[in-house]
Amino acid sequence: MIRAVVLIGIFATPISADTVVAARTIPAHSTIMPEDVMANGRSIPGSVTDPAQIVGMEARVALYAGRPIRAGDVGFPAVVERNQIIPLHYNRHGLMISTEGRALGRAGPGDVIRVMNISSRSTVTAQIGADGAGYVAH
């Protein structure tokens, strides 16, 4: 058995990171501005550690003042609203089918939601692109 020892520095120092908390209550579906968040001196596992990571993002849930913000609490701003008619694309092995669909959820780029094909009334799972179109998962 081979053991490897890595020397990072002469002195062992604990690594700590600040936790980002909401400076005020932020309603769900609101864009997070720099004045909405602040760093707290405590380190809480699972929470965001850099305010720059979430400024400009959208709150997916209500964020309460003084409480830590987790990465899952925020996401890219929505480009598709529930019940919105969106282009729906399927592309596999050279076959491309495009139609219209009705979004069954609210989503930002990269989110996966259910979309109802308006022509057939069948429901498919689609990933939302930055252009607001749904791309059917294989």
Query: Which domain-ending residue is among 75, 99, 121?
Result: 75
pLDDT given at position 15? 47
Residue 3 in domain? no
Encode pLDDT of 61-104 as tens digits. Answer: 999 999 999 989 999 999 999 999 999 999 999 899 999 999 99
Q: Do 91 and 132 share a domain, yes or no?
A: yes
In the structure encoding, which two tokens stand for residue 121, read together? Answer: 């009334």
Strands 95-103 and 134-136: unpaired
CATH of the domain at 30: 3.90.1210.10
CATH of the domain at 103: 2.30.30.760
Residue 115: how many CB atoms within 10 A of its CB? 29
Q: Which domain range does residue 116 map to?
A: 85-136
pTM above 0.75, yes or no: no
Give 44's pLDDT tier (boundaries 50, 70, 90). Answer: confident
State the amino acid at position 108 in one-letter form.
G
